[in-house]
Amino acid sequence: MTGSVETTSSSASELGLPAPEERRRLREAANLTHEQVAEAVGVTATTVRSWETGRTDPRGRNREAYAAFLTALAAPATAPEQADTTSDGPAGRASEAGTPRTAQTAQTAQTAQTAAADAPTAPAEASAEDSAGVPAAGPARGPAADFDALYDHAAPALARQTYLLTGRRTLALKAVERAFTRAWARWPEVATDPDPVGWVRAVAYDYALSPWHRFRRAHRRQDARPADPADRILLDAVLALPTRHRRTVMLYDGVGLDLPDTAAETEASTPTAGIRLVRAHADLAGRIPELAEVPPEKQSALLRDLFTTLRPAAPLDPRPAAAVRGGGERRVRLWSRGALGLTAVIATATGYTAVTAADHYEPPQAPGQSVSGVPPLSGPQQLTVRSRQLHDKLRADPEAGPARIAPKSE
């Protein structure tokens, strides 16, 4: 019996999944949100988004449950019960393999299809949220309004996260502003990204944790520490972690990403991210007394509460979205004008050089120098003018021999 169960489970885990675009299409066709799919499969909404974008793939029982869920969504809406109760179908095979979530998955798919059939006129955008957690924009909204909505939603939390990563208020606000300025400069790409908040967060983290800031003069001065002693202990403990561990803890405990998404954003494998997280929790527990008093499975929840309630010495208030957007546009205009001006200078210098440059090479004349120690000229001396005339006359005479000196009658 055990061998048959293992064989069925392995065959179910080897079932192929549709392409990420097809997974998203099936979910949107059933008018389901990421949260509903995550609840049916037994994972987080962030993991479902990662599966639909192709950044990660489900494994083990999650793969079996997700395959059964997609199979139920792809089944005709007229026969959801058959796909749900037949033991020969994918749902029945997954339940035989020891997956208790399969019945709930098929039931959720059936309920979603029934709701979609009863209300066919409800658009998917009205019931689902995008990957950033911001409600989908209506057709009347423009790029500026969408950018402002994203900024208002993500900027305050991102400023707190970068402050915990660096311990410097000015650097944290500058990192957030720089990230959103770059996002506005590449807004078509960011707007169509499955996770625009993750896109901006990656840019802000990279800038905030850049090692080149240590060479700046402003980096030599320490910021004012938080007034609460518990907040000072927490901030010192986080800043004492290595940079990679600090970023992993912030993404997993502060942002709330699961381990595969944390590994993908930190450009590491899932086991490596897990090892970093365990070591970071151990270091933090050794520095934070209240964290050492709770069991390991509750440390993430406590850290998230501590990160949320930390109060810096000065308020972390990002600038308005319109000011960030306008500053980015002015910076782009200045860079464009500077590039055009430099191009004009180079073109003018090239033309002037082409006109005034020489078209052939003239070797320089070496200056005369006096040389001493040369012996005097020996041998025949130089001929005088009279001697040269006689010499030339003799050489030009056509006759040769003694006859040429005979007198001639004229």
Q: What is the CATH number of the domain that holds 297?
A: 1.20.140
- Kindly state whether residue 247 falls inside one of the protein's structural domains: yes
Q: What is the pLDDT of residues 294-341, one digit of tens each?
A: 888 888 889 988 998 898 988 888 989 888 888 877 777 888 889 999
Range of the domain at 261: 143-309
**Site of tokens 């079996």:** 64
Distance CA 299, CA 234 (A): 13
Assign 3-class secondary structure to 239-259: HCCCHHHHHHHHHHHHHCCCH
Better-predicted residue by pLDDT, 136 or 37:
37
On whether the CB atoms of residues 288 and 233 are closer than 8 A, the answer is yes
Average pLDDT, the chain: 77
- Kindly state whether residue 54 falls inside one of the protein's structural domains: yes
pLDDT of residue 330: 79
Q: What is the pLDDT of residues 32-64, one digit of tens each?
A: 888 888 888 888 887 888 788 877 788 777 888
**pLDDT-above-90 percentage for the chain:** 30
Q: What is the pLDDT of residues 283-292, one digit of tens each?
A: 999 999 888 8
Q: What is the pLDDT of residues 150-202, one digit of tens each?
A: 999 999 999 999 999 999 999 999 999 999 999 998 999 999 988 999 999 99
pLDDT of residue 406: 67
| Whether residue 156 sits in one domain with residue 108 | no
What is the average pLDDT across 16-34?
86
pLDDT of residue 76: 57
- Kindly state whether residue 395 falls inside one of the protein's structural domains: no
Q: Does residue 96 come out as left (phi exceeding 0), alpha (psi in the -120 to 50 range) or beta?
A: alpha
| Whether residue 203 sits in one domain with residue 159 | yes
Contacts by residues 36-41 (CB-CB < 8 Å, ≥ 24 positions apart): 36/108, 36/112, 37/69, 39/108, 40/65, 40/69, 40/101, 40/104, 40/105, 40/108, 40/109, 41/65, 41/66, 41/69, 41/101, 41/105
| Whether residue 157 sits in one domain with residue 298 | yes
Number of domains in the chain: 2
Specify which of 87-91, 146-150, 290-294, 381-385 reaches the highest per-range mean pLDDT.
146-150
| Whether residue 271 sits in one domain with residue 175 | yes
Report the amino acid identity of residue 30: A
pLDDT of residue 152: 93
Instruction: Give the predicted TM-score (pTM) of the model.
Output: 0.53
Question: 122 pLDDT band (50/70/90 cuts)?
Answer: very low
pLDDT of residue 134: 44
Question: 204 pLDDT band (50/70/90 cuts)?
Answer: very high
- Kindly state whether residue 359 falls inside one of the protein's structural domains: no
